[in-house]
């Protein structure tokens, strides 16, 4: 059975957001091209600064072979151990400058993150899971996929259908079963001035 | 009637993602504290690099007065014109370094963007709308809310219930009614190498 880890919340949230998490146990089942299209379509409709849409995705399907292995080889070893099971790997890339004028776009990575968020929730809606990774070799990824200057590889992404934790090594199974944790709302929601607990928050 | 602008998609996407957009016409109706809590709870359950949760939010409700006006005054004039109608303004802030060791967190803004994405979709689920703005004075925001070194003001956020476009000036009404546009999928979804259209994509 695939492991579920619904968020324990103080305020109700939509089921898609509550159920989304980042498992490591992927099933061999391939992802239907139509569903893959829906994930990227969801990213496409993210919000962005001056509608620059600074998000780009390199997609490597396991059944395509070569480019999947090249992307896998960009990951740090700890991630490769489980991400090799994922039927699809992706790399998100940010365009760092504005299309017109070429000035730096301070919100490029932010907007890629927004698009990644809609992509992940679309995945949950389709019964898929996504795990984003910071642990990859940025220079190697740039070289491998000929990512031009002015664009920055942001995150490696594993996605597919979820499998039971038992397919993982003991060490990774333990990670998989670790409860999800988050700061209290009062630790990051302020009003009036920095660090000041927002008055509208319920006391826990 | 509130204006709807559902995304025109090539692949089906979840209704929350399809309907989300960034209107400027806000109704006077206040946002219930419980719903505001749900928005921030949704942000709380975003994914982040090493679970750093680098997102922070300063929340200013219109009915609280002073801090709302102080945040409003940080906006550029073009945004102030319509954002002053919003019952809630927020400022997202990123912590730029890791909690342990203090090294730069390259994904800080990305992860704030992810959290902003889940917040916006939670808003859609609750019948609320959100409009994020890059157009504000970062230094003034830092000073006004005493945001410490190592943290960066990211986006100003207007949120509330939507009103009909007619409440806006003619110029803003025209903006409000402009169709939403996005690049084609083939413009940002690649495989094999940079710029190479992904084979799984349907031809349009």
Q: What is the pLDDT of residues A143-201, one digit of tens each?
A: 999 999 999 999 999 999 999 999 999 999 999 999 999 999 999 999 999 999 999 99
For residues B166-191, average pLDDT = 97
- Number of residues that this document lists for chain A: 204
Strand locations in A15-122, DSSP E?
A: 55-61, 88-95
Strand locations in chain B, DSSP E?
A: 55-61, 88-95, 129-133, 151-160, 189-190
Is residue B94 domain-resident? yes
For residues A75-100, average pLDDT = 98
Rounded to the nearest angstrom, the minimum Cα separation between B50 and chain A is 8
Q: Is the pLDDT score of B171 beyond 90? A: yes
For residues A78-82, average pLDDT = 98
> For position B1, what pLDDT does the model report?
86
Is residue B6 domain-resident? no
Is residue B172 domain-resident? no
> For position A44, what pLDDT does the model report?
98
Is residue A4 domain-resident? no
Q: Is A36 exposed, middle or buried (0-12, 13-18, 19+ CB in 10 A)?
A: buried
A201 chain-B contacts, CB cut-off 8 A: 37
Q: How far is Cα A92 from Cα A110, in angstroms, rounded to an integer?
A: 12
To which residue do tokens 């008055």 refer? A199
Is the distance from CB of B59 to CB of B36 less than 8 angstroms? yes
Q: How far is Cα B160 from Cα B155, in angstroms, rounded to an integer?
A: 16
Task: Give residue A179's domain range.
Answer: 15-187
Is residue B108 domain-resident? yes
B111 chain-A contacts, CB cut-off 8 A: 113
In this prediction, residue B9 has a pLDDT band, given cuts at 50, 70 and 90, of very high
Is the distance from CB of A154 to CB of B110 less than 8 angstroms? yes
Q: How far is Cα A53 from Cα A43, in angstroms, rounded to an integer?
A: 9
Asked if the Cβ–Cβ distance from A189 to B110 is below 8 Å, we say no
Q: Is the pLDDT score of B204 beyond 80? A: no
Is residue B66 domain-resident? yes
Is residue A193 domain-resident? no
Q: What is the dihedral of CA B139, B28, B40, A126, to 10 degrees?
A: -120
Is the distance from CB of A160 to CB of A26 less than 8 angstroms? yes
Full-prediction pTM beyond 0.90? yes
Asked if the Cβ–Cβ distance from B64 to A155 is below 8 Å, we say no
In order of A52, A149, A193, B45, the CA distances from A121 in angstroms are 22, 30, 32, 12
Q: How far is Cα B52 from Cα B110, in angstroms, rounded to an integer?
A: 12
Structure tokens of A193?
A: 């001035």
Identify the three-state secondary structure at position B37: helix
A46 chain-B contacts, CB cut-off 8 A: 117
Q: Which of A99, A130, A98, A141 is nearest to A24 (CA)?
A: A130
The domain total for chain B is 1
In this prediction, residue B192 has a pLDDT band, given cuts at 50, 70 and 90, of very high
Mutate to test the interface with B, among A38, A155, A190, A201 (most CBs of B within 10 A): A190
A16 chain-B contacts, CB cut-off 8 A: 14, 16, 121
Q: What is the pLDDT of residues B76-126, one digit of tens each?
A: 999 999 999 999 999 999 999 999 999 999 999 999 999 999 999 999 999
Residues 6+ apart with CB under 8 A from A46: A53, A55, A111, A114, A115, A117, A118, B117
Rounded to the nearest angstrom, the minimum Cα separation between A52 and chain B is 9
Give the count of Cβ contacts less than 8 A between chain A and B. 249
Here the CATH number for the domain that contains residue B136 is 3.40.109.10
Mutate to test the interface with B, among A9, A11, A141 (most CBs of B within 10 A): A11
Q: Which of A13, A125, A111 is nearest to B44 (CA)?
A: A13
Is the distance from CB of A75 to CB of A133 less than 8 angstroms? yes
> For position B89, what pLDDT does the model report?
98
For residues B3-17, average pLDDT = 97
Name the residue facing B47 among A10, A51, A120 (closest C-beta).
Answer: A120
Structure tokens of A36?
A: 């893959």
In this prediction, residue B13 has a pLDDT band, given cuts at 50, 70 and 90, of very high
Rounded to the nearest angstrom, the minimum Cα separation between A100 and chain B is 15
> For position B104, what pLDDT does the model report?
98
> For position A65, what pLDDT does the model report?
79
> For position A76, what pLDDT does the model report?
98
Is residue A99 domain-resident? yes
> For position B65, what pLDDT does the model report?
79
Q: What is the pLDDT of residues B121-159, one digit of tens each?
A: 999 999 999 999 999 999 999 999 999 999 999 999 999
Please state the three-class secondary structure of B76-108 as a single string: CHHHHHHHCCCCEEEEEEEECECCCCCCECCCH
């Amino acid at each position: 059975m695939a492991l579920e880890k619904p968020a324990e919340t103080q305020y109700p949230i939509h089921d898609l957001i509550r159920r989304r998490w980042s498992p490591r146990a992927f099933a061999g089942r391939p992802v239907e091209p139509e569903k893959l299209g829906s994930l990227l379509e969801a990213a496409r409709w993210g919000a962005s600064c001056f509608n620059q849409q600074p998000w780009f995705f390199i997609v490597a399907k396991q059944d395509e072979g070569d480019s999947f292995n090249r992307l896998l080889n960009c990951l740090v070893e700890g991630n490769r151990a489980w991400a090799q099971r994922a039927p699809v790997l992706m790399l998100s890339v940010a365009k760092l400058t504005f299309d017109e004028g070429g000035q730096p776009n301070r919100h490029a990575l932010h907007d890629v993150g927004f698009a990644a968020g809609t992509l992940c929730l679309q995945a949950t809606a389709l019964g898929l899971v996504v795990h984003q990774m910071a642990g990859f070799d940025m220079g190697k990824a740039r070289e491998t996929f000929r990512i031009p200057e002015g664009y920055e590889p942001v995150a490696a992404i594993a996605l597919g259908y979820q499998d039971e934790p038992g397919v993982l090594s003991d060490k990774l199974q333990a990670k998989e079963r670790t409860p999800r944790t988050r700061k209290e709302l009062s630790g990051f929601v302020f009003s009036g001035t920095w660090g000041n607990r927002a008055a509208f928050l319920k006391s826990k």
